């Protein structure tokens, strides 16, 4: 890991693509035994023996690359992650904890680099590392409800579509994310934001117990009572560092009879008098710093700024592409009925604010979280694209105007119609757990919003431009007053001082726990907790 730090110091003076290349080179500076080192790498016959010993899986190789089993095992959501840099030596598509334990033991005994992949949404590609032995857990996707304590236990290959469907069946609610294909396990280990966080806290706050295969290859059930330190580390320390999670038990909440959403759209335009987007800046800043902080915890709002042409799914007939250069869309989900939702906004006088600029502002009633999710554009399976992400947290008293100005300028000046700038409301129940009770940073716990700069694109020729755009806008946002931290699950792979930025003062305790539970630093991955 020290090598990473040195390389990043050097890279500060170099261009972003060069930095990325250095990061990849650095990932080869592992102390693990890699396939190129014949003096330590086990012969193929050892892998054959491992394969024969696995109760419900086989060891498979890149020679099967044209077959579905290999491409499914190694599939990554982010198409920017070149296959040539994320090709494991071999893969095991585990179907049971016994498979996982045997693979971990084999890799630990032979000092091999292990990758752990659940649904493969890891932004930086650290769930499929070059030359590693890949444990693909996507086939372990059982999910079940326990009526005795209203909890849901799920394996790492399951996803939010499955979780929300089970919620509907059992009239419960879970804290989950926006996209149905994402995995609740990685989500919860790193934090987990979504439409119910202000009612119930983060995804990680819902963990009751974790079944974990340790570096010694043993399966343990970790709870707050059984191992307070390890449990603390698992609540926010991110995946990949402390063991392989084979299942997780999460608390649920009783579902209200209905939920209510409020969507309100505004144009982003270059004002004719001064060619700036100041009216959009005023609206975004009004929502972010004046309106959202006053809302009751039942509301969780998120906002997105998009350049024109806006996606058809947005379905906003009033959007005039001749005069409007972008869109500011605000969507809130109220965890309760229509009348209470409307009353809470109108009591605060919010419905009439900036009325002349509103487009398609409306309330909608939903019978369940699943019904709401499926009716939204992000509820559809996201089409995999090349992606780069940068995040930071707006602390109390953040500079709403400054933030809105950076956001609007970035969106109005990009030539990539698939770029977006998200502002996700935090606070509420997220802040009611203090920042030492779990390993989630104080920057996350005490924030009002999570800002996400998100570029998606198709052609590899645009990689350099899009990576630089996202990184630079993210850097400008982070430099504003009262911005802090970054979200470990949505990382900019070029982030400097990422340990402190992700975990703040909790990083030191995470390191101590890492040294205690994994003294040989068996679990290793990019931007993961290290000793």
Residues that bind ligand FAD (CB under 6 A): 77, 116-122, 126-127, 137, 156, 177-179, 182-183, 185-187, 190-194, 239-240, 244-245, 382, 489-490, 525, 528
Shortest spacing between CB 36 and ligand FAD, in angstroms: 22
What span, in angstroms and rounded, lies between the C-alpha atoms of 101 and 194?
Answer: 32
19 or 420, CB closer to ligand FAD?
420
- Which one-letter DSSP state was computed for residue 60? E
Residue (176 or 400) nearer to ligand FAD, CB: 176
**Chain centroid offset of residue 197 CA:** 14
Name beta bridge partners: 301: 332
State the nearest-atom distance from the C-beta of 520 to ligand FAD, in Å. Answer: 17
Give yes or no for a contact between 249 and 209, defined as CB atoms under 8 angstroms apart.
yes
From the CB of 269, what's the least distance to ligand FAD, in Å? 29
Nearer to ligand FAD, 115 or 285 (CB): 115
The Cα-based distances of 67 to 56, 61, 327, 528 in angstroms read 19, 10, 42, 31
Closest CB to ligand FAD among 203 and 402? 203
Shortest reach from residue 342's CB to ligand FAD, in Å? 26
**Strand ordering across the sheet containing 133-136:** 59-60, 90-93, 133-136, 114-117
Minimum CB distance to ligand FAD smaller for 126 or for 265 = 126
Burial of 150 (0-12, 13-18, 19+ CB in 10 A): middle
Q: Which is nearer to ligand FAD, 192 or 277 (CB)?
A: 192
Q: Is the dihedral of CA 364, 368, 374, 377 positive or negative?
A: positive
Listing DSSP states for 318-358 in one string gives: T--TTT--EEEEEEEEESS-HHHHHHHHHHTT-TTTTGGG-
CB of 190 to ligand FAD, least distance (A): 6
Instruction: Report which DSSP code applies to 36.
Output: T
Give Dmax (Cα) for the chain. Answer: 74
Distance of CA 179 to the CA centre of its chain: 10
**C-alpha 43: how far from chain center:** 37
Q: Which two tokens stand for residue 471?
A: 């990184």
Round to whole Å and give the CA distance between 467 and 455.
Answer: 8
**b vs e for 167-188, b when ≥16 Cβ sit within 10 Å of the residue's Cβ?**
bbebebbbbbbbbbbbbbbbbb
Q: Distance between CA 250 and CA 174 in Å, rounded?
A: 8
Structure tokens at 426: 């935090």
Whose Cβ is closer to ligand FAD: residue 386's or residue 471's? 386
Minimal distance, residue 14 CB to ligand FAD, in Å = 26
Nearer to ligand FAD, 134 or 281 (CB): 134
Two tokens, residue 75: 């599939």
Which CB atom, from 233 or from 270, has the smaller least distance to ligand FAD? Answer: 233
**Residue 438, both tokens:** 């779990």
User: Closest approach of Cβ 344 to ligand FAD, in Å?
Assistant: 24
Calpha distance 90→113 (Å, rounded): 11
CB of 489 to ligand FAD, least distance (A): 4
When the beta carbons of 191 and 402 are compared against ligand FAD, the nearer one is: 191
Least Å distance, CB 74 to ligand FAD, is 11
Minimum distance from residue 118 beta carbon to ligand FAD (Å): 3
């Amino acid at each position: 890991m020290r090598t990473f730090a040195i390389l990043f110091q050097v890279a500060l003076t170099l261009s972003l693509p060069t930095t990325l290349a250095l990061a990849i080179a650095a990932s080869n500076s592992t102390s693990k035994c890699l396939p190129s080192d014949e003096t330590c790498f086990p012969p193929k016959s050892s892998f054959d023996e491992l394969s024969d010993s696995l109760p419900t899986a086989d060891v498979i190789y890149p020679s099967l690359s044209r077959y579905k089993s290999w491409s499914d095992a190694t599939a990554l959501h982010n198409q920017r992650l070149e296959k040539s840099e994320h090709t494991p030596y071999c893969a095991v598509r585990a179907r049971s904890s016994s498979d996982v334990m045997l693979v971990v033991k084999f890799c630990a005994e032979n000092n091999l680099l292990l990758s752990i992949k659940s649904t493969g949404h890891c932004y930086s590609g650290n769930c499929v590392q070059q030359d590693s032995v890949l444990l693909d857990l996507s086939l372990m996707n059982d999910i079940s409800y326990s009526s005795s304590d209203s909890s849901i236990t799920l394996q790492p290959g399951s996803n939010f579509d499955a979780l929300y469907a089970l919620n509907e069946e059992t009239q419960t609610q879970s804290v989950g994310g926006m996209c149905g294909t994402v995995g609740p396990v990685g989500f919860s280990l790193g934090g987990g934001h979504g439409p119910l966080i202000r009612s119930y806290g983060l995804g990680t706050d819902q963990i009751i117990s974790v079944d974990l295969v340790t570096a010694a290859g043993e399966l343990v059930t970790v709870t707050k009572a059984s191992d307070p330190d390890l449990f603390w580390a698992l609540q926010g320390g991110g995946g990949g560092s402390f063991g392989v999670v084979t299942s997780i038990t999460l608390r649920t909440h009783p579902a209200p009879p209905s939920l209510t959403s409020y969507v309100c759209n505004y144009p982003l335009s270059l004002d004719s008098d001064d060619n700036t987007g100041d009216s959009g800046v005023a609206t975004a800043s009004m929502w972010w710093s004046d309106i959202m902080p006053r809302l009751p915890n039942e509301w969780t709002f998120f906002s997105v700024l998009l350049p024109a042409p806006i996606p058809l799914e947005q379905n906003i007939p009033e959007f005039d592409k001749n005069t409007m250069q972008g869109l500011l869309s605000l969507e809130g989900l109220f965890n309760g009925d229509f009348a209470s939702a409307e009353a809470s906004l109108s009591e605060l006088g919010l419905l009439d604010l900036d009325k002349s600029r509103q487009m398609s502002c409306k309330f909608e009633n939903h019978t369940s979280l699943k019904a709401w999710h499926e009716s939204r554009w992000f509820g559809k399976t996201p089409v995999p694209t090349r992606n780069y992400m940068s995040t930071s947290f707006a602390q109390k008293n953040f500079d709403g105007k400054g933030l809105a100005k950076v956001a609007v300028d970035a969106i109005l000046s990009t030539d990539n119609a698939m770029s977006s700038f998200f502002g996700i409301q935090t606070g509420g129940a997220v802040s009611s757990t203090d920042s030492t009770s779990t390993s989630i940073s104080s920057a996350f716990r005490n924030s009002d919003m999570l800002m996400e700069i998100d570029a998606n694109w198709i052609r590899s020729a645009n990689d350099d431009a899009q990576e630089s755009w996202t990184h630079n806008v993210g850097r400008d946002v982070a430099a504003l007053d009262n911005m802090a931290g970054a979200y470990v699950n949505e990382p900019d792979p070029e982030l400097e001082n990422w340990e402190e930025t992700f975990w703040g003062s909790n990083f030191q305790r995470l390191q101590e726990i890492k040294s205690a539970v994994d003294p040989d630093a068996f679990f290793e991955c990019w931007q993961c907790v290290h000793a």
